[in-house]
Amino acid sequence: MNDSMSVWELNEYTRNLLENDILLQMVSVSGEISNYKRHSSGHIYFTLKDERAKINCSFFKNYNSTLKFEPQNGMQVTVSATVSLYSRDGSYQLLVYRMASKGTGLLHERFEALKASLQEEGLFSPESKKPIPTYPKRIAVLASPTGAAVRDIISVTGRRSKSVEVIVVPVPVQGEGAAAQIAKALAYADNVLDADTIILARGGGSIEELWAFNEEVLARAVHACKTPVISGVGHETDFTICDFVADLRAPTPSVAAEIAVKDVKDTNSRLDEIMSSITRNISYNLSGAKSRAEALYSSAAMQSPKRKIEDASRAADNIYEDIISVIEDKISDSKAQSEKIITNISAMNPYNVLSRGYAAVYSGQKQIKSVEDAKAGDNVLVELSDGRINCTVNSTQKGKYGG
């Protein structure tokens, strides 16, 4: 006979014990809110913690609908709850049915105090914001090398443009000393890497997990940076001190990459629009000039007295020829200027270069610009105007082809 219990049976038995214990049915617990989330269903989930412990809490819609305030991370609260257990995960939790605010928590107070101080000092002022380059050649990304944030940025930039070089500067994104290390890496990216744009990137988390980006040492490093900085830290609802100091705040790391790198397809479409506009303007001006010249000739002939028609006609012929000559000169100059503009615009399109028989060679995310960037055995990607070729390097040789 098998007297063992299933995991589900054990968890259900424990849950019933907890929920039927009179002492645990109406407990009052005080602590600080973290990991706060309001679900689309209206239910609220958060962690209640103090200096030594924490517990998960569920605050269902039928109970939280009477709240007179919006809870937030860092807030000190007292909850009335029933102690329970989530049978599926075996996790101990509080089922909250009432909440009262005790004011903001220590971290939230520190955040607001530093925010007010730096704002008064002028670190958030619009005048201190640097414009983000429209067409960067190199972007430095300060992020955890193993996190989802850096993978998202590399994926987005690679999809939007093959000509932008992405340099990942690995940094710790949470924990003791993380802010100082990020500040040091930021100075390195600003002074050594010759990047056009710097992205600070990290996924979402609680106020504790994001705290490195709320430290004064990092805020001042961002403000002192000569290179434009985009803050892509956390999710859309997460705000850090770095968001306010940076030149631009993005709601997520992926959006930071989209802001930093323009889509080459959008650029090509814009070039086509410019060329079409130039062509339409030339045609419009030519048509209008001819119409005005013909009208001038006709009116001069018709309004003259009969005895002066021949003289007026000859004068009109001369005027017409002079006008047409001036118009043709203007149109010729406009066409030359337009062709020069179109040539310059086309030269900006990397695919026009590739269509002339050239190729771009990449090793991973890095473009190979010198024979010293490749060695025998390397796998490389050759970008042509109509596709890509995956190759393996057999050997390398310095010097120009045929030289």
pLDDT digits (tens, 9 = 90+) for 343-360: 666 666 666 676 777 788
Query: What is the C-alpha separation between 401 and 116, in angstroms, rounded?
Result: 62
Triad 286, 291, 295: Cα angle to 5°: 150
Confirm if 46 and 34 have CB atoms less than 8 A apart. yes
* Element containing residue 139 per DSSP (H, E): strand 138-143
Tell whether the model's pLDDT for residue 244 goes beyond 90: yes
Residue 321 pLDDT exceeds 60? yes
The pLDDT assigned to 35 comes to 94
Q: Is the pLDDT of residue 267 over 70?
A: no
Give the C-alpha separation, 68 to 243, whole Å: 29
Mean pLDDT value of segment 365-378: 84
- For Cα atoms 253, 148, 184, give the angle at the middle one, nearest 5 degrees: 65
H-run or E-run covering 389: strand 387-392
Q: Which positions ≥6 away from 198 have C-beta within 8 Å?
A: 139, 140, 141, 142, 186, 189, 190, 225, 227, 228, 229, 230
Percent of the chain with pLDDT over 90: 44
Q: Which pLDDT score, from 0 to 100, does residue 312 have? A: 61
pLDDT of residue 1: 46
CB 44 within 8 A of CB 33: no
Tell me the per-residue pLDDT of 161-180, one tens digit each, with 9 for 90 and over. Answer: 888 999 999 999 998 899 99
Residue type, 397: Q
Q: What is the mean pLDDT of the chain?
A: 84
**Model confidence at 222, in pLDDT bands (50, 70, 90)?**
very high
State the DSSP string of 314-351: HHHHHHHHHHHHHHHHHHHHHHHHHHHHHHHHHHH-HH
What number is the average pLDDT over the span 235-260? 92
Q: Give pLDDT, residue 33.
A: 94
Q: What is the mean pLDDT of residues 269-283?
A: 69
Report pLDDT for 47. Answer: 96
Residue type, 205: G
pTM over 0.75: no
Measured CA to CA in angstroms, residue 364 lies from 135, 283, 361 at distances of 21, 47, 10
pLDDT, position 393: 85
- Burial (CB count <10 Å: 0-12, 13-18, 19+), residue 220: middle
